[in-house]
Amino acid sequence: MKMDNLPDYSGKYIVYDRQRLIEQVQMQMSEKRFKHVLGVEEMAVGLAAKYDVSVEKASIAALTHDYAKERPDDEMKFILKKEAFDLDLLDYGNQIWHGIIGAFLVQRELGIQDPEILSAIRLHTTGAKVMTSLDKVIYVADYVELGRNFPGVEEAREIALMDLDKAVAYETKHTLMHLIEKEKKIYPKTIETFNAWVANE
């Protein structure tokens, strides 16, 4: 991945430089998921520049957004209980846990404390009623990165380049339709996001 136009990290949000962070992330996941993460970073940096969001925060949040995705379920459940997360989360699985626990683990293991970066990681799967521009950039970049290939992704990409809020709405609607089609359990926050970004009244 050529990210030549990405300036060096300032040191304000993480002690590692970008290359060291990439190594930390790579150790956490399969080659396939790591490629996805680099794709999300490239997309997120582009969207951040376009929509006036910190490119450095977008890079760090994108590189760490799936940090917890390959942790075993047992470790995730242990953390949910030990760290007093909402125990309703136990009714769900990795898909819902990995962003929430990812935000916790990058704080503990990588020393990332910035609330905006942690929020973008925490919300990246479900979105939320209220989202910062960085939250939106990561949520959308995760959906439309160039490695993604599903019906509608090209339309989603086009929308992402025109209107970030419309891209949030498009992704939210299509993800929910997909989950319903597959008869997956819907996490309440996913519905809240739909009500806030898609529904009319």
- Judged by CB, which is closer to Fe ion: 8, or 186? 186
The verdict on 95 binding ligand DGI (CB under 6 A) reads yes
Q: Which residue has the tokens 């599903």?
A: 150
Site string for Fe ion, 141-160 (x = CB under 5 A): -x------------------
Count helices and strands (H / E) in the chain: 10, 0
Q: Which stretch binds ligand DGI (CB under 6 A): 6-14, 17-25, 44-52, 119-127?
A: 119-127
DSSP state letter for 64: H
Going by C-alpha positions, the residue among 147, 143, 126 that lies closest to residue 36 is: 147
Q: Which stretch binds ligand DGI (CB under 6 A): 14-22, 45-53, 118-126, 157-165?
A: 118-126
Going by C-alpha positions, the residue among 79, 81, 82 that lies closest to residue 98 is: 79
Q: Shortest gap between Cβ of 11 and ligand DGI (angstroms)?
A: 28
Rounded Cα gap, residues 3 and 67, in angstroms: 20
Measured between its terminal Cα atoms, the distance across the chain in Å is 43
Identify the helix (H) or strand (E) that includes residue 100: helix 94-110
Q: Shortest gap between Cβ of 99 and ligand DGI (angstroms)?
A: 6
The verdict on 186 binding ligand DGI (CB under 6 A) reads yes
**In the range 55-84, which residues lie near ligand DGI by CB under 6 A?**
66, 69
**In the range 43-72, which residues lie near Fe ion by CB under 5 A?**
66
187 binds, among ligand DGI, Fe ion, none (CB under 5 to 8 A by kind): ligand DGI
Tokens at residue 31, please? 């080659």
- Give the footprint of Fe ion on this chain (CB under 5 A): 66, 142
